[in-house]
A and B are shown apart, each in its own frame.
Chain A
Amino acid sequence: MNSKHQYIDLYRTNAEAIDSGSAPALNRLRPQAAAALEATDFPVRGAEGYERTDVNAMFGPDYGVNIHRLDIPADIAASWRCDVPNMSTLLGVVANDAFIPSASLESRLPEGVIFTSLRRAALEYPELVANAYGSTAPLTDSMVALNTMLAQDGVFIRIPRGCRMSRPLQLVNIFSAPTPMLAPRRVLVVMEEGSEAQLLVCDHTQDCNRSYLSSEVVEIIMGENARLDYYCIEESSAMTSRHSQLFARQESGSVLMVNSSTLTAGNTRNDFTVTVNGKGCDTRLSGMVIASDGMHVDNSVNMLHLAPKCHSDQLFKYVAGGKASCAFQGRILVSEEAPFTDAYQTCRSVLASPEARMHAKPQLEIYNDEVKCSHGATTGQLDADALFYMRTRGIPEAEARTMLMQAFMADVIETVRMDGLRDRLRHLVEKRFAGKDASCSECHASCRERHTDPNND
């Protein structure tokens, strides 16, 4: 049976409570979303695009949803210190699905910049939110429909016209609840004409012995000539599942960079859908996955070129150890209206253990002859010659492997345009490959035992 039904039932029986815990601008789409979800099933495992990810199994268990907006005593203080060294960010925390601003956040925001709870924004700026909410994420997608039907809160970011943020914004998503829980998370980013910003999103889990599930939908609207660097880092736990979808729409001249790092997770599916609507846009998508034990990580990219003279580049790298199963789907579509498009895609994977699995599906769909497009995908091991060379120079094999794997990930890390974050990622990857706990050391004091070496088997 399709596991969507329990959620539709949940909504039908609690519609009023859900509405009252939210805002009209968000409630407006709920009935439509419920109808859309009823009309389309969750994708089944093996369906095109979901070859390796079982959404029904992910959403099947009985999770609690905090529809009555109860305060869950989250030990936020522990995560408060998730500061990246040498980086001073404007921080907001999402505990499960509720936004908690850091102290004096609002007073530190430049004029006109909004970085607040989606629910509050929907009450204070109903028109702004109503126009943007749901404008890039289609309800025809059953997973979006589910999120739209249940999301009561989230994060709203608006960077006004011509505003260049000097300090990066940081969002920490944290799971902390005494029972298994599903958190519908929603982020809405509106970049107005000529604005510039950097946004760092970290996903964490505080209690590693409890299972959590997040359904995340991020909508990004890029005005003309806007620039956004979006980084997301997932360091959750083996019992955390995440179904995350990012939808971005780019108007002419805008520059979008998305960098996703999956360092520790249970069962993760990330979708990135970028629609290029105006000419002269630039899009860079990169991803790094270090998977071990029984981790499952599936990245799916949908790069839609609908306007001429745009450029896009995708780079995804995987190291899979233990019994990890990884997947990559990347689709570049160049429509007839998009001549002079340059679009490239690369996916490279290293299988570091006999039981690791990699499934790659790079795709090109081209309806125009004035294009330059290519994709490449490789799956293999570390270069035996390089390993041998290093050993002849007296470097022990294990160390040589670690060094080569770090070098393998280096070009993804290099795409990061924030110095502090780049160093931090390098450090995390180093620790991760060395088999140590890769979490930001301050972050979650409670779980130390869960990380293992991707080399071990």
Chain B
Amino acid sequence: MDTNDKEIKSTDSNIIDEVTRGDYKYGFTTDIDTDIIEKGLTEDTVRHISAMKGEPEWLLDFRLKAFRHWLTLTPPRWAHLDIPEIDFQAISYYAAPRKKEGPKSLDEVDPELLDTFNKLGIPLEEQKALSGMAVDAVMDSVSVKTTHREKLAELGVIFCSISEAVKDYPDLVRKYLGKVVSYRDNFYAALNSAVFSDGSFVYIPKGVRCPMELSTYFRINAAGTGQFERTLIVADDDAYVSYLEGCTAPMRDENQLHAAIVEIIVEDRAEVKYSTVQNWYAGDAKGRGGVYNFVTKRGLCRGDFSKLSWTQVETGSAITWKYPSCVLAGEGATGEFYSVAVTRNYQQADTGTKMIHLGRNTRSTIVSKGISAGHSQNSYRGLVKVAPNADGCRNYTQCDSLLLSQHCGAHTFPYIDVMNDTAVVEHEATTSKISEDQLFYCNQRGIPTEEAVGLIVNGYAKEVMNKLPMEFAVEAQRLLAVTLEGSVG
């Protein structure tokens, strides 16, 4: 009996081992001609980037101010992360696929590029035809192709790359850029503001409900380049938009830096749903290589009864430092954060959210599910703050951690700041491994352990997965399956 038990135990741990190993499926590089500027960062680099993009004076000023401020800062060290020294002068700050003639139809798009997307599982044609999504594909910083432009234009929806927006809608961009995440916000925000290459701009006019889900794929392709994209989403009164962001990066040995900014402004009664599936290269089983993902994401719910919902599935990156936040300034505004973060091998993640309640009767919900395996460290860090004048606020936070190996770590660092006596703030957190009872129960019903692990992990993450838009949920589930190889029954 005893030996039997031991055997079962060792097969169990073998399976969990297998399940949590699994190689990076998206590791391939595309040989497209890219323009890369010299490594290093000086004021000249900033001017050069700005000039290459043909930017107006005010934007160059913005970049230079950010750059000068960046020089006075040092990288933040407070996170529960072991970040190696990053040489910011050894990075090339701009890589763009070389411009041939602007593609007029899909046939003119570089076939290799299309192939890349096909490997990623987002064939543009198919998506255009079948799913009715508009995809703004960002590859190494420059928007390559935008689909469904015309349909959106009819409704007055603007969905284009931020460099185009600077040219076509300078007033709008100027009005909103840097208003939620100032260049003074933090080290990486300052860096991004100085050298941001491209990104997406979305404007949904008053009363428009965007009929399709907007989607962008980011991908770091060229070796030794950092990607600094910037996304700006504005939802005017009564507007609605669901925005999807997916990220993959090919296998590179050297660590790559990714420092993005996402700014969202939500006006009266508007709603924005922002979903991310992040699958940057996480390094190999020994912890070599991988992407450093240092992102500042923040939404300002400025309007009354506005709503912002963040959903993220984080499976990639060697190091993740990311806190999508909601500033709930309007009366009755709602903020939501749903997150699944999976770390394995030597990955490190310090991620969570900030809910800042400034308006009366604002509400927020936080559901965070961490899964750690191998030697990884997975931390939740979150802030819930209720300002003195914000009467009647409500927050509920739940963050659970699942441990799949003996050497991994799962940590929870919530900060709860309440300055109003009418607020109700709740926080709950649990940490445990997969329950032997649950596994045993599944086995007893004829479900093999491998399937059972998949079942339990999927069930564990379900609450968050359910919040993803349908098309994305499929991909996210596939990703979880790939990450936890063979676990999905």
Contact with A along B402-439 (1 / 0, CB 8 A): 01111111111111111111111111111111000000
B409 cross-chain contacts in A, Cβ below 8 A: 365-367
Hey, what's the 0/1 contact readout for A345-379 against B, CB within 8 Å counting as 1?
00001011111111111111111111111111111
B92 CB–A CB distance under 8 Å: no
Instruction: Name the CB-closest residue of A to B430.
Output: A374
Asked if A336 CB lies within 8 Å of chain B CBs, one says yes
Shortest C-beta distance, B366 to chain A (Å), equals: 13
Interface flag for B401 (CB, 8 Å) = yes
Majority secondary structure, B binding face: strand
Q: Check B78 for interface membership: any CB of A closer than 8 A.
A: yes
- B396 (CB) vs chain A CBs: closest residue: A378
Interface size on A, residues (CB 8 A): 36
Chain B residue numbers with a CB within 8 Å of A359 are 415-418
| Interfacial chain A residues near B418, Cβ < 8 Å | 349, 351, 357-360, 379
Q: When the two chains form their complex, are residues A364 and B421 in contact, meaning their CB atoms are under 8 A apart?
A: no
- Give the interface size class of chain B: 35 or more
A277 to B39, CA, bound (A): 51
Using Cβ atoms and an 8 Å threshold, which residues of chain B touch A349? Answer: 418
Are A369 and B406 neighbours in the complex by a CB distance under 8 Å? Answer: yes
The distance in angstroms between the C-alpha atoms of A375 and B422, with both chains bound, is 23
Q: Which residues of A sit under 8 angstroms from B417, Cβ to Cβ?
A: 357-359
Residues in A with CB closer than 8 Å to B406 are 336, 339, 368-370
Most chain A CB inside 10 Å of its own CB: which residue of B405, B417, B433: B417
A349 to B428, CA, bound (A): 14
Chain A 25-69 per-residue mask, 1 if CB under 8 angstroms from chain B, else 0 = 000000000000000000000001001000000000000000000
In the complex, chain A residues whose CB is within 8 Å of the CB of B428? 374-376
- If A360-B416, A361-B413, A366-B410 touch, whether A371 touches B431 (CB-CB below 8 Å) is yes
Question: Knowing A362-B427, A376-B428 touch, does A369 contact B414 (C-beta < 8 A)?
Answer: no
Is there an interface contact between B429 and A376, defined as CB atoms closer than 8 Å? yes
Task: Give complex CA distance A367, B410 in Å.
Answer: 7
Q: Which residues on B sit within 8 Å (CB–CB) of A14?
A: none
Q: Mark A327-339, 1 if CB is under 8 A from B, else 0.
A: 0000000001001
Query: Shortest beta-carbon distance, B14 to chain A, in Å?
Result: 15
Residue of A nearest to B377 (CB): A367
Q: Is A380 an interface residue (CB 8 A)?
A: yes
Give chain A residues whose Cβ lies under 8 Å from the Cβ of B80.
365
Chain A residues within 8 Å of B430, by CB? 373-374
B379-413 vs A, CB cutoff 8 Å, 1 = contact: the mask equals 00000000010000000000001011111111111
Given contacts A357-B418, A359-B417, A364-B411, contact A370 B433 (CB under 8 A): yes
Contacts of A381 in B (CB 8 A): 421-422, 424
With a cutoff of 8 Å between Cβ atoms, the chain B residues found around residue A354 in the complex are 388, 420-421
B421 touches A361 (CB 8 A): no
- Minimum distance in angstroms from A298 CB to a CB of chain B: 13
Contact A363 B413, beta carbon cutoff 8 Å: yes
A248 CB to nearest B CB, Å: 23
Please give the distance in Å from A172's CB to the nearest CB on chain B.
35
Interface pair B414/A363, CB less than 8 Å apart: yes
Report B's interface with A, CB cutoff 8 A.
Answer: 78, 80, 388, 401, 403-433
